[in-house]
Amino acid sequence: MVVVMQEGATEDSVQNVINKLMDMGFDIHRSTGARHTVLGAVGAKVDFDIRDIELLEGVEEVLRITAPYKLASRHFRPEGTLVALDRGVTIGGEEVVVMAGPCSVESPGQIDSVAASVAASGARVLRGGAFKPRSSPYSFQGMGQPGLELMRRAAEKHNLCVVSEVMDHVQIPMMLDYVDMLQVGARNMQNYNLLRELGKVTKPVLLKRGISATIEELLLSAEYIMAGGNYNVVLCERGIRTFDTYLRNTLDIAAIPVIKKLSHLPIVVDPSHGTGRRDKVASMARASVAAGADGLLIEVHNDPEKALSDGAQSLFPEQFEQLMKELRMIAPAVGRRI
């Protein structure tokens, strides 16, 4: 932390700040300039509230030097992290991994049909929800465990891995039997009890960015999981909330290169939730690959107009097939393949 004192701050104010910093466990390095006294505070601690210093008498401004996360930081693993699922699928390497499937698992026929078509088009992971966080208490809330069973069966038949959302820490042990990766939804990005429990499992976690979370907050949530010992975290950009409401969310494509710089964790994009409309998904999927994403999470449904949830943002299988062709043309421009 660097503390800049106001011009003309009294020696008493300076000493008071120094004492407070020492109480907080920092070593102090003082330098007295022509106009400002600057205090450098060094220590191993990453958790402190800079407002506690900002409000002290005589303080002009305070800068935190170190990020509030350690394990999620690029410095921790400069070479980047590869997250391995089953069936030879690795996220964060040369291959851009496409995960596709319906918003919700609805029936054996539906999930098998979707799994067959996305596998044929080149997807490597089957996505689908069995527990659905819905903003209305009157909406379809998912099939639960039976949905997971259906998804697992369809995935194995078509040689796909499985990712599905966990809504509550009590669901974790049961879900481990069915999924290759546990997804944390945007609304649960700061459900710390859930994150803490996910730190204790060994399966990878797909952590979605909250709709109003900064990138630093996303990395802090990853840190919660990693602090428990589970380093297999994949981050996911899925749109943020802005003043512009023409689409459901504003997909923050620039988050891809920003996260690549700040963290070693892979970053994938969900253009389906990121736009909320089927006719905008393909362009945003292409943009994501062109910007360097490590993977995509795309909603595909065999009959979107009859889907029980989010049909409006699900692709028809033919649209997905066409999109995969376009993505295969783009990937080499960024040194990747699909």
Q: Does 160 bind its own copies (CB under 8 A)?
A: no
Q: Does 200 bind its own copies (CB under 8 A)?
A: no
Q: Does 332 bind its own copies (CB under 8 A)?
A: yes
**309 binding its own copies? (CB under 8 A):** yes
307: which strand partners? none
Contact (Cβ atoms closer than 8 angstroms) between residue 65 and residue 2:
yes
Q: Across the strands, what pairs with 268?
A: 236, 295
Fill in the amino acid letter for 158. H
- Least Cα distance to 304 among 293, 296, 292, 313 occurs for 313
- Out of 10, 107, 139, 159, point to the residue binding its own copies (CB under 8 A): 139
Q: Does 78 bind its own copies (CB under 8 A)?
A: no
Residue 241 within binding range of its own copies, rule CB under 8 A: yes
Taking CB under 8 A as the criterion, the residue among 11, 78, 79, 138 binding its own copies is: 138
Tokens of 284: 């945003």
State yes or no: residue 290 binds its own copies (CB under 8 A). Answer: yes
Query: According to CB under 8 A, which one of 60, 86, 156, 321 is a site residue for its own copies?
Result: 60
Tell whether residue 227 is a contact of its own copies (CB under 8 A). Answer: yes
Q: Which of residues 102-121 bind its own copies (CB under 8 A)?
A: none
DSSP-assigned letters across all residues of 183-240:
EE-GGGTT-HHHHHHHTT--S-EEEEPPTT--HHHHHHHHHHHHHTT---EEEEE--B
What beta strand segments (E) does the chain contain? 2-5, 27-32, 37-42, 59-63, 83-84, 90-91, 97-101, 125-127, 161-165, 181-184, 205-208, 233-237, 267-269, 295-299
User: At its nearest, how many Å lie between its own copies and the CB of residue 173?
Assistant: 15
Q: Per CB under 8 A, does 217 bind its own copies?
A: yes
Nearer to its own copies, 156 or 199 (CB): 199
**Residue 233 half-sphere exposure, CB side, CA atoms within 13 Å?**
32
Q: Which is nearer to its own copies, 158 or 311 (CB)?
A: 311
Residues 255-274 that bind its own copies (CB under 8 A): 255-258, 261, 274
Shortest CB 80 distance to its own copies, Å:
16
Closer residue to its own copies (CB): 122 or 133: 133
Residue 31 within binding range of its own copies, rule CB under 8 A: yes
Q: How far, in Å, CA of 62 to CA of 250, rounded?
A: 32
Do 281 and 272 touch, CB atoms closer than 8 A?
yes
Range 42-74 burial, b when 16+ CB lie within 10 A, else e: eeeeeebeeeebeebebbeebeeeebbbebbbb
Q: Does 22 bind its own copies (CB under 8 A)?
A: no
Give yes or no for residue 287 binding its own copies (CB under 8 A): yes
Could you tell me how many residues of this chain bind its own copies (CB under 8 A)? 105
Stretch of residues binding its own copies (CB under 8 A), selected from 90-98, 111-119, 122-130, 329-337:
329-337
254 binds its own copies per the rule CB under 8 A: yes
Query: Among 84-92, 93-101, 113-121, 211-219, which window interacts with its own copies (CB under 8 A)?
Result: 211-219
